[in-house]
Amino acid sequence: MAKKTVALLFGGVSSEYEVSCLSVSSVFENVDREKYEPVLVGITKTGEWYLYGGEIEKVRAHEWDKDSENLKKAFICPDRTVHGLMVEGKNGWEELYVDVVYPVLHGKNGEDGTMQGLLEIAGIPYVGCKVLASAVCMDKEVCHSVLKGAGVPQVKWLTCFRGNVDYSEAEKAVETELGWPVFVKPANAGSSVGISMVKSPEKLKEAMELAFEHDVKIIIEEAVKNPIEVECAVLGNEELLVGGPGEIVPADEFYSYDAKYFNDESETFLKARIEDSVAEEIRETAKKAYKILGCSGLTRVDFLIDGESGKIVLNEPNTLPGFTNISMYPKLIMSTGMTYSELIDKLLELAQE
Ligand SMILES: Nc1ncnc2c1ncn2[C@@H]1O[C@H](COP(=O)(O)OP(=O)(O)O)[C@@H](O)[C@H]1O
Ligand SMILES: [Mg+2]
């Protein structure tokens, strides 16, 4: 059988650029070379696209874009007769046929439906959720509304838009509808960027202004008390495999950017330290949410369990979760008996279904 070409998209105009560089390095090293020929397509922080032919270590260290000998200008061509990339060669632009695309991109401009839209136009199969599911899962306010409407337990929240914000109104609304502490978040972000935990009214404005730096829409959520944070890995299109729930114990007061990427005192457990019946309920809820949101391929579904009441809420789905071989999503799937390479193979297969 002839090998298929898989384009691995990485980097991107997103606050999670570096995480993507790590994720794609693991994916690249583990693609089944008997079946696939991987090509690396990097997007710089400023949005330039290149086909990269250099060492994978330079991608991992996010130094690939300085390796000019191994860079060729390239981009996904929206013209579907090309079914792939336009690459700048010595004699001008050439077409490169691609069978399937794996967007190993996190956050804005990659996980939010925008790249998925381009790939739909280009007519190329791709790994992961389609346009609508990607966009809905990215927007915390829309996602809360959709899931609440379908009866999936959510925290209570308030929504605010930038411009003419009445901060004392917001404070009153928190007092009557949520109570302190609260979490203030940009509606569209990731990696905890722009998120604050606010314990008292005088800190609310500052937190809202910070969140508004990242989005015109923000949400204020009631805080889950002494939360147990657990995550499920869901894999599939129609028939679903669920790994986990695994547990996260952040080194910080909450799972902040620092606790996620820099503080190695944050702990993870592949099997959450909760009762089996609760774990089962969480797996079922994860599957239900996956269907409601219209997910396909993969999604990591994150939950918070109230340490006092035991009540479960779905915190957020992540349609393109961190994907290094030590990231939670792959580890949870691997805990069901699949290898990391088999997982990538399965995702590429699901994309082409
Ligand atoms: N309502 C909440 N109650 C308690 N902790 C929360 C709440 N919302 C968020 N957190 C904490 O903040 C972290 C980041 O919030 P999250 O909504 O997952 O944003 P991101 O999309 O950036 O990961 C969570 O992992 C959790 O530790
Ligand atoms: Mg999160």
Instruction: Please determine, for residue 202, whether its predicted confidence score (pLDDT) is greater than 80.
Output: yes
Instruction: Please determine, for residue 258, whether its predicted confidence score (pLDDT) is greater than 90.
Output: no
Q: Residue 189: what pLDDT?
A: 83
Claim to verify: residue 231 and residue 314 sit in the same structural domain: yes
Q: Tell me, what CATH number does 36's domain have?
A: 3.40.50.20
Q: Is 190 inside a domain boundary? A: yes
Instruction: Please determine, for residue 1, whether its predicted confidence score (pLDDT) is greater than 80.
Output: no
196: containing domain: 157-222
Claim to verify: residue 194 and residue 232 sit in the same structural domain: no
Domain count, the chain: 3
Q: What is the mean pLDDT of the chain?
A: 96
Using the mean position of ligand 2's atoms as its centre, give its distance from the Cα of residue 265 in Å.
18
Claim to verify: residue 247 and residue 145 sit in the same structural domain: yes
Better-scored residue on pLDDT, 326 or 211 = 211
Q: DSSP 3-state assignment of 143?
A: helix
Question: How many angstroms separate the CA atoms of 304 and 226, rounded?
Answer: 9
Query: For residue 326, what pLDDT band results from cuts at 50, 70 and 90?
Result: confident
Token pair recorded at residue 118:
């381009």
Q: DSSP 3-state assignment of 268?
A: strand
Whether the CB-CB separation of 19 and 318 falls below 8 Å is answered with no
Ligand nearest, relative to CA of residue 140: 1
Protein residue with its CA nearest to atom 13 in ligand 1: 255
Claim to verify: residue 61 and residue 148 sit in the same structural domain: no
Q: Is 27 inside a domain boundary? A: yes
Claim to verify: residue 142 and residue 176 sit in the same structural domain: no
Query: For residue 263, what pLDDT band results from cuts at 50, 70 and 90?
Result: confident
Q: Residue 259: what pLDDT?
A: 85
Instruction: Please determine, for residue 107, whether its predicted confidence score (pLDDT) is greater than 80.
Output: yes
Claim to verify: residue 112 and residue 143 sit in the same structural domain: no
Instruction: Please determine, for residue 325, whether its predicted confidence score (pLDDT) is greater than 80.
Output: no
CA dist 300 to 22, 204, 297, Å? 18, 30, 11
First to last CA, the chain: 18
Claim to verify: residue 146 and residue 286 sit in the same structural domain: yes
Claim to verify: residue 268 and residue 147 sit in the same structural domain: yes
Q: 140 burial class (0-12, 13-18, 19+ CB within 10 angstroms)?
A: buried
pLDDT tens digit string along 117-173?
999 999 999 999 999 999 999 999 999 999 999 999 999 999 999 998 999 999 999
Q: Residue 330: what pLDDT?
A: 97
Q: pLDDT exceeding 90 applies to what percent of the chain?
A: 92
Using the mean position of ligand 2's atoms as its centre, give its distance from the Cα of residue 43 in Å.
24
Claim to verify: residue 145 and residue 270 sit in the same structural domain: yes
Protein residue with its CA nearest to atom 15 in ligand 1: 192
Protein residue with its CA nearest to atom 25 in ligand 1: 255
